[in-house]
A and B are shown apart, each in its own frame.
Chain A
């Protein structure tokens, strides 16, 4: 076992040591796998238990979700996998799934007699490893151990990647051994799953790697400390090591933080993607994509991961943080995966973005209180993220877009970017929200709502943007968005109301966090950041609801793109932002939108963020040059074609790219034909 790095060794050597049964177990794996099965139906429970015992697993059964959770909590490392029914009286199975994902990060398999596509999809988006249709046969249970192995392996790999610097030899291969290790090890580097960006600072790994790391339970306070640290650092700079330092919690390891950060990002993404309703406004702020930190770093992330890791349950987070905010937990709770087209990118983000955009508008680099209209119901986290997002907007507006934009193409980069954006956005938003909570509610309220709406729309529209994304995916740096404007992203300024697309743009602007990062076409996104500039100019409120959709700051749009697609296609059309509705790949749209926003308009940032979600598509689609001020100018009418094939989006985006003039305030939506926006 490689002992070169604590981490690596952790997995290998420690795995055996931590392996419950002791070293002998590893030989007999998967025998002895510790399964927790939850089902309110006693007949099913009895049968499942018997089947699992027949598979030589160690079974613990309970018929209530609350009981299951408390068992898991009191014995954090006591289980390897959880099997849960979807339909339970005391708690929804998906909610349980989220809790487990957030707190314990165990693989969870859902079961139900319901084999409807929606439900299965919900399972996927909430992060379930698998979904079994009842009646369950023993053959299906014989293989559940693969999920445990896979998860460990992924975590290990991620872990490795981040710390790759140090040890080249500690490789994922070892993870195989590690995989068998009990969950005890997992806790530590769980988060590293595919969070390459986080792991960039590999050096930090040494500080924490210990062989055996007990799983950490993220209490509300701990989580708040975490969020505060993240916001302080800025979503793009929030790397585990620094977060750890800021948090200054004894006994907490970098891996714990990394793992949690990943989940947080997913959560944020999910939040931004899912919220469709106004009520989501508050949640939006939470910036869904934790991974948002840096676009470039996103590259590693692929949607899948995001989706999978999107376990960050909105609810859990909400619970964790909601202490005072009482915000509606992320609505979507669902990872931004492409699958969830509807609102993967909840409008929330866009909304936030708007807030931000507005704020930004006022101060480029200041913390925008984007949230000012945003109901402060947001959870602290969200607020924090908002704030953070606000900050980051200046810098990285566009992070998100990549995500969205690419979605169509599945460019990991894009996605990541989108994700990141969202995250950052969320963070920013949250922060802003927190700071300006009072303001937010009043001012943001509107925008947000509109965002929400817009996001929906934008998400749809966003797609076109995303189309471009594909092209962009290649360049992780998609974030080229002219971040210059970052501070300016009017985010809110753009009359989001008019076109969803616009909203996206704004969000993009929001993303623009770094003014200097120009969104080069090469980046794949949108050259049209100008949009953001324009956006900035508008007053935050400018985005009316209608626009809001569009303006959803790109950040959101990645997520919301999907969800919102249906809503305001036309709205987006106006803006030309189709935030990247791309086929439900909000991400790309977001990216696209981001790109668009990157016009370097800080103002746009605000909007960009929101738009982001939508924009994902937009971003991709350079055509979305959102004119800052008007979101609705462009003829929305055709903005959203019904099906926005990713290709279309990408091409649109590409087109846009080319045409991206530096004119910031020009949103030529013409390029965007939202037509492709899949509704």
Chain B
């Protein structure tokens, strides 16, 4: 793919990520931080997020599987997870986290479990999309 097409592709992918609500303004903050001294900053942060949050996801799973459910701990984990995801601008994921916390506060186990499925789903979708997007970005920057 020639450079222009790649760049166009990047632009349109990016636009759609925002338009469809997967990413929000915070992601732009990350992009703004990227510069020549740190040309892969966005990629690094996203990678770090996914690696670190895997641990949190696991903790939440465990907490949801234990009986009785410790809602306090659950809320705690989710709070951390939400903080993390919001810091990279993962809008849909963050929204699902908020919904989850509501169920958690209500101590609604069923609701929590269902909601968490949503969280994981959005999390996975975004991960894929970002991977593709960032890969395209890399390609575009390489084809100078």
Contacts and interface: CB of A to CB of B under 8 A. Distances in A.
Given A41-B52, A44-B84, A87-B79, 6 more contacts: A41-B80, A41-B84, A43-B53, A47-B33, A50-B33, A135-B87
A43 B44 CA distance: 9
A173 interface: no
B138 to A, nearest CB: 19
A43 B33 contact: no
Given A46-B44, A138-B32, A41 B38 contact: no
Contacts of A43: 45, 48-49, 52-53, 84, 87-88
Closest 6 pairs (CB-CB, A-B): A113-B83, A135-B87, A43-B49, A135-B86, A135-B26, A50-B33
Contacts of A137: 26, 29
Nearest to B85: A43
A54 interface: yes
A50 B48 CA distance: 14
Interface in B40-58: 41, 44-45, 48-49, 52-53
Interface string A133-161: 01111100000000000000000000000
B92 to A, nearest CB: 15
Contacts of B32: 138
Interface string B99-127: 00000000000000000000000000000
A51 to B, nearest CB: 6
Interface residues of A, number: 19
Q: By DSSP majority rule, is chain B's interface helix, strand, loop, or mixed? A: helix
A648 B80 CA distance: 45
A44 B87 CA distance: 6
Interface residues of B, number: 23
Interface in B46-74: 48-49, 52-53
Contacts of B87: 41, 43-44, 47, 134-136
Nearest to B44: A46
Contacts of A114: 79
A110 to B, nearest CB: 13
A113 B33 contact: no
A138 B29 contact: yes
A251 interface: no
A42 interface: yes
Contact of B79 (A54, A113, A138): A113
B33 A87 contact: no
A136 B48 CA distance: 17
A537 B76 CA distance: 52
A51 B26 contact: no
29 contacts: A40-B80, A41-B83, A41-B84, A41-B87, A42-B48, A43-B48, A43-B53, A44-B84, A44-B87, A47-B30, A47-B45, A47-B88, A50-B33, A50-B41, A51-B29, A51-B33, A87-B79, A112-B83, A113-B79, A113-B83, A113-B86, A114-B79, A135-B26, A135-B29, A135-B83, A135-B86, A135-B87, A137-B26, A138-B32
A38 to B, nearest CB: 14
A54 B31 CA distance: 12
Interface string A57-101: 000000000000000000000000000000100000000000000
A662 B33 CA distance: 71
A354 to B, nearest CB: 36
A136 B52 CA distance: 19
B88 A138 contact: no
A46 B48 contact: yes
Interface in A120-138: 134-138
A44 B29 CA distance: 12
A135 B91 CA distance: 11
B83 A46 contact: no
Contacts of A40: 80
A57 to B, nearest CB: 14
A245 to B, nearest CB: 50
Interface centre among B32, B52, B80, B88 (most CB of A within 10 A): B80
A51 B35 CA distance: 12
Contact of A46 (B45, B76, B79, B86): B45
A40 B84 CA distance: 10
Contact of B89 (A50, A51, A135): A135
Contacts of A42: 48, 52
A522 B80 CA distance: 54
Contacts of B26: 135, 137
Given A43-B88, A47-B33, A134 B83 contact: yes
B50 to A, nearest CB: 9
Nearest to B56: A41
Contacts of A44: 83-84, 87
A51 B34 CA distance: 10
Interface centre among A44, A135, A138 (most CB of B within 10 A): A135
Interface string A33-55: 00000001111101100110010
Contacts of A112: 83
Contacts of B41: 50
Interface string A12-50: 000000000000000000000000000011111011001
A280 B52 CA distance: 40
Interface string A151-191: 00000000000000000000000000000000000000000
A37 to B, nearest CB: 13
Contacts of B30: 47
Contacts of B33: 47, 50-51, 54, 138
A44 B41 CA distance: 13
Given A41-B87, A44-B87, A138-B29, A87 B44 contact: no
B82 A113 contact: yes
Contacts of B86: 113, 134-135
Contacts of A87: 76, 79-80, 83
A47 B89 CA distance: 12
